[in-house]
Amino acid sequence: MEYLFDAFKEALNLLFNADESVISAIKTTLLSSSVSIILALAVGFPLGFCLGFFDFRLKSSLKLLVNTSLSFPTVAVGLIIYAFISSRGPLGEFGLLFTIKALILGQFILALPIIIALFSNLIENMDKKHFLLIKSFHLSPLRLVLTIIYELRFALISVIALAYGRIVAEVGVAMIVGGNIKYHTRTITTAISLETNKGEFERGIALALVLISIAFVLNFLIHSLKRD
C-alpha cells in the first residue's frame, strides 16, 4: 500500500504545481467535451422531442436504431469516423484527423444518441394528466414545447450529465481519431492510458483524480439544482 500512498502524494504535487502536460490534457478534455455536448444538445433535443412527442410510421424503427447505437463499442465508432476523415476517406480533404475538431466530432457522435434516446423516453413517459393539463392552456406550439422542457428540467439535467460523463470518460474514439498527441489532442483518459503503460503511475492517478472531481462537480450541481 505504500506505493499507492506515494503515488497519491506525487499526484497531488503534480496538480498543485500545475504540471504542464497534466494541465494540457485537462484543458483539451474540457474544451472538446464542452463543445461537443453543446452541439449534441442543439441537435439531440429537437430530434428527441419529435421522436417522443409525435407518432409516425417509422417511429419504432428509428427508436430501435437510436437505442442500438447506444451500445456501439467506442472503438468501432472511432474506426468508422477514422475511415471517413482519413486522407483516403470522403472527408479527408478537410484535414480533420488528429485534430481537436476530430475529437469534438467523435464525442458529438457518442453523445447524440444518448440525448435523443433518453429525451424521447422522458417525453413518452411524461405523466398523462400533467400533459393534458398543459395542453388545456392552448399554448402556441413553441410555448408548448418550452413548457414541456421546463417541466422536465430536472430529468433533462440528469440526461446532460450522463451524456457529458460518457464523453469525458471516453478513450477509444479519442485515441483513434485524436492520435493522443501531447499538448495538442491528448485528453485525460488517453493520458491515463499512456502514462500507466509507461509506468508513470503518479501522473495516471493525478489525471484520474481530475476525472473523479469532474464527476463529483457534475453530481453536486445536479443535486443543488434539484434541491432549489
Report the pLDDT averaged over residues 9-37: 86
Report the pLDDT averaged over residues 142-151: 82
CA distance linking residue 156 with residue 151, whole number of Å: 10
Lowest mean pLDDT segment, chosen from 49-53, 83-87, 206-210: 206-210
CA distance linking residue 201 with residue 192, whole number of Å: 9
pLDDT of residue 138: 78
pLDDT-derived band at 202 (thresholds 50, 70, 90) equals confident
pLDDT-derived band at 97 (thresholds 50, 70, 90) equals very high
Q: What is the pTM (predicted TM-score) of this model?
A: 0.86
- pLDDT: is 226 or 137 the higher one? 137
pLDDT of residue 227: 63
pLDDT greater than 80 at residue 10: no
Out of 141-155, 168-182, 205-219, the most confident range is: 168-182
CA distance linking residue 119 with residue 135, whole number of Å: 19
The CATH number covering residue 130 comes to 1.10.3720.10
pLDDT greater than 80 at residue 120: yes
pLDDT of residue 1: 65
Report the pLDDT averaged over residues 101-110: 94
Length of the chain: 228
Q: What values do phi and psi take at 173, rounded to 5?
A: -65, -40
Residues of the domain holding 199: 1-226
Burial of 86 (0-12, 13-18, 19+ CB in 10 A): middle
Q: What would the pLDDT profile of 155-190 be if each residue is shown by its tens digit?
A: 888 888 889 888 888 888 888 998 889 889 999 899
pLDDT-derived band at 228 (thresholds 50, 70, 90) equals low
pLDDT of residue 21: 84
The helix (H) or strand (E) run that includes residue 114 is helix 100-124
CA distance linking residue 117 with residue 173, whole number of Å: 21
Can you say whether residue 138 is alpha, beta or left, with left for phi > 0 and alpha for psi between -120 and 50 degrees? Answer: left
| Contact of 97 with 177, CB cutoff 8 Å | yes
**Structural domains counted in the chain:** 1
pLDDT of residue 206: 80
pLDDT greater than 90 at residue 105: yes
pLDDT of residue 100: 94
